[in-house]
Amino acid sequence: MKSERVVMLADCQSFYASVEKADHPQHKDRPLIVAGDPERRSGIVLAACPLAKRYGVTTAETLGTALPKCPDLVVMRPRMERYISVSMQITNIMKQFTDLVEPYSIDEQHLDVTGSLSLFGEPETLALTIQQKIRRETGIYSRFGISYNKAVSKMACDNFAKKNANGLYTLPREAVSKVLWPLPIRQMFMVGSRMERHLLRMGIRTIGELANLPLARLRQRWGVNGEVLWRLANGIDDSPVDPNSHQGEKSIGHEMTLPRDYYSLEETAVPLLELTELVCRRCREKGYMGGVVSVGCRGADFDHPTGFYRQMKLPDPTNVTKQVYDGVMRLFRRHWDGQSVRKVGVTLTGLVRDDEYQLTLFDERPRYQALERATDEIKRRYGESAIFRAVSLTGAGQARDRAGKIGGHYR
C-alpha cells in the first residue's frame, strides 16, 4: 500500500525584519520595522518584528501611522539583495534534508520529506532539526506546517504553527474536518477579502460550510475556480512539490507605483516607456519575444478603483522597445479615461524563442535588437544608471531612482 505523503510548508517569521535583526544584533531587543523611503509613496511598513507588532504596528500601514504607536521604533530601509541571498541560503539548508524543495515566496518553501523520514526520523523531529539549523546558520526563526499535501500544510502553518510555542503543527488527513472546517472562511488558503465577501453573501461563513456545499453549485457560479475552492476546503491538492515549478515563463511584466498622481498623457507616457524598456530587456536576457502586450493603470484611491487593464496582439512577436511601446501607447490612449494615475504596468505574453522566427518584408527587428543589446551590455557592465533615455531625467521619470533598487525596493 502506498504510504501517505508528508509535505511541509516552512515560513520565516517577519522575514525582512528578522534578517535585519540578525545582521544588527544591537537591535535584538528593540521594536524594528523594515520600510521604504519616508519621502516617497513607498514609505510603508514591509515587515514588523514581533516586538513592534505588540505596539499595534502592522505591515502595509504607512510610516506616518506606525511611528506614533511606538516612538522607540527602529526603522530600517529594505535591502532586497540581502533578503534574496538569505532566502537562497535557507533553501539550500532544506536541500540537505530533501531534494524536493519548492520555493513558494521569498520567505516560504514547500518540502516533500516522504523519502527522508527513514534517515531523519518522524516528521516533527525532522522539522525541528531543520528549524534549528536555519536558526543557527542564519539567525532566522521558521515555522512548519506539516500535512499530506501543499495546501493543507500551508493552512496548518498559517493558522496553527505560527501560534504554537515551538512553531510546529501537524494536521493529518483525518483531522481536516475537525480542525479546519470550524475556521472562518477568510482563514482558508486562496480566500482573499473580495472572495470572502462573495462567500459571505452566499451564507458561507466557515471552511466546513464551503466544503459541504454541492460542487455543482460552485461550478455553476465560478466554473473551474469554484471546483478549486471546493477541493481546497476538503483538503484535496494533488500538486507535487516541484523544484522546477517556476521555470519556463508564460509572461514577463513590470508594475510601478508612482510617487504622486500623474494627470497628463505626456507625464504618464514616461514611466510607461521605462516599464516597456524593462520588460523588453528582460525578454532579451531570457531569449524571448512577446506576441501580446498588456497595459494597466490604477488611480490613487484603491477603495474606489479607477483605471483599466487591456491587451492587444502585436503585428509580430518582438522584444524591441520601440515596437512594444507603440502598442502600449495605442492601448493607453484608447482606454485611459483621463483620471489621475498612480500605478502603471506593462506585460508581454505569448512568448516565443527569439533565436528562430519568421522574418517579414522590411523587418526592423534585427537592427533595433542589435542596438538594444549594446545598451543592455553597457548596463550589465557599468550598472543600471550608466545610460538613460533623456525623458527619464525629467520630473516624470522614475528610472534613475529605480536604478538602485530591486523590485522597487532598495538593494
Q: Is 23 annotated as a binding residue?
A: no
Q: Which three cell numbers stand for residue 287?
A: 531569449
**Which stretches does DSSP call E strand in 56-124?**
74-76, 101-105, 108-112
Residue type (1 letter), 60 = A
Q: Is 337 annotated as a binding residue?
A: no
**Residue whose grid cell is 491538492:** 237
**Residue whose grid cell is 516560504:** 108
Q: Long-range CB contacts (< 8 A, 24+ apart) of 66-75?
A: 66/33, 66/35, 70/31, 72/30, 72/31, 73/31, 73/32, 73/33, 74/27, 74/30, 74/31, 74/32, 74/33, 75/32, 75/33, 75/35, 75/38
Q: Which three cell numbers stand for residue 258?
A: 508612482
**Which stretches does DSSP call E strand in 45-138?**
45-48, 74-76, 101-105, 108-112
Q: Which three cell numbers stand for residue 323?
A: 515596437
**Residue whose grid cell is 490612449:** 333
Residue type (1 letter), 82 = R
Which residue in 245, 288, 287, 241 sits closest to 147, CA to CA? 241
Residues classed as catalytic: 108
Q: Which three cell numbers stand for residue 376?
A: 543592455
DSSP letters of 394-406?
A: STT--HHHHTTEE
Q: Are 410 and 46 in contact (CB under 8 A)?
A: no
- Binding residues for Mg(2+), by number, are 11, 107
